[in-house]
Amino acid sequence: MSQQITPELRQWIIDQARAGHRPEAVVAAMRASGWDEAVALDALETTLQGFMDSLQKPAVQPAPPALSAVPEPDLRQQPSIVAVGGHEVKVLMAMHSPRVVVFGGLLSEDECDQLVELARPRLARSETVDTTTGGSEVNAARTSSGMFFSRCETALHQRIEERIGALVNWPVDHGEGLQILRYGPGAEYRPHHDYFDPAQPGTPAILQRGGQRVGTLVMYLNTPEQGGATIFPDVGLEVAPIKGNAVFFSYARPHPDTRTLHGGAPVITGEKWVATKWLRQRVFV
Ligand SMILES: O=C(O)CCC(=O)C(=O)O
Ligand SMILES: [Fe+2]
């Protein structure tokens, strides 16, 4: 019969070591009670090694960043259509991890066209917030051009921002102004997270303007002929860019475990225009 190293035997070995008995004495005691010497030695070695390893591991792992409240559409009754401010928005797809909801008809054709025409004369090569300094910089990973509107810049912006606020239950003043991006053929936005990396030295300065980003809504202002999906590589999801539709996602902490890594796949033919709304933890100033 093979001799099993049971949890009780392991505990007995640890107790002997704690009591100051030398390994030879422990093996001798095991042999005296019928254990094969090789098995006794092996049990001693593996048990004590595991015990030493457990002493070296910190008992408490460093805590991940705390969870924040997040914007969230009210889909508890599984509506196919949500009415917000007299406007009907379709719920096309929802998933829980990552939290992603795809909406249909969030913007009218006319609202899309107006945003494009207001943005067009103000476009510049896209800058992203530089988390090392808190300033902004031209980023090779983002080959689109873009601009920011200020919050509620015109009545059109205000109407759209109020619709978004009602849709995802988040105060309008917790949002950044709409960002418009234009991608030509070949342009892309490589996978990234929208939250600010807590490890970067410039992040505390950025957070003073309204805390972390906790949600994103990317609205499609046209339908590119080919390419330009919004991709979520962690889960293999691709959202087709269809004019007036939008993809919403939220992240309760600035951590990759939210699985909200995403990007804009290269446009193949045509161009792609989007409006992005970022939602902050607090009033964005
Ligand atoms: O263009 C897209 O589909 C994604 C845009 C995006 O990730 C962003 O604006 O942060
Ligand atoms: Fe993004």
Which ligand 1 atom lies nearest to the CA of residue 229?
Answer: 3
Q: How long, in residues, is the chain?
A: 285
Q: Identify whether the C-beta of residue 253 lies closer than 8 Å to the C-beta of residue 67.
A: yes
pLDDT reading at 139 higher than 60:
no
Instruction: Specify the residue with its C-alpha closest to ligand 1, atom 1.
Output: 264
Pocket of ligand 1 (CB under 6 A): 181, 189, 194, 218, 230, 262, 264, 274, 276
For residues 244-252, average pLDDT: 99
Return the best residue to mutate from 230, 242, 243, 249 for the ligand 1 pocket (most ligand atoms within 8 A of CB). Answer: 230
The three-state secondary structure class of 234 is coil
Beta bridge partners of residue 138, listed in sequence order: 127
Q: What's the token pair of residue 84?
A: 């917000």
- 0.80 surpassed by pTM: no
Determine the residue of 180, 218, 251 to mutate for testing ligand 1's pocket, defined as the one with the most ligand atoms within 8 A of the Cβ atom: 218
Question: Mean pLDDT of all residues in the chain?
Answer: 89
Instruction: Return the pLDDT at 14.
Output: 72
pLDDT for position 93:
98
Cα dihedral: 22, 28, 34, 35 (round 10): 60
What angle (nearest 5°) sits at the alpha carbon of residue 175, between those of residues 184 and 96? Answer: 80
> What is the predicted pLDDT for the residue at 45?
78
Mean pLDDT of 260-271: 98
What confidence category does residue 47 fall into, taking pLDDT thresholds of 50, 70 and 90? confident
* Residues 58-81, mean pLDDT to the nearest whole number: 88
Q: Which of 40-44, 48-52, 57-61 has the highest mean pLDDT?
A: 40-44
**Cα 274 to ligand 1 centroid, rounded to whole Å:** 7
Residues less than 5 Å from ion ligand 2, measured at CB: 194
Distance 62 CA to ligand 2 centre (A): 28
CA distance 242 to 276: 14
In testing the pocket of ligand 1, which one of 268, 276, 278 has its CB within 8 Å of the most ligand atoms?
276
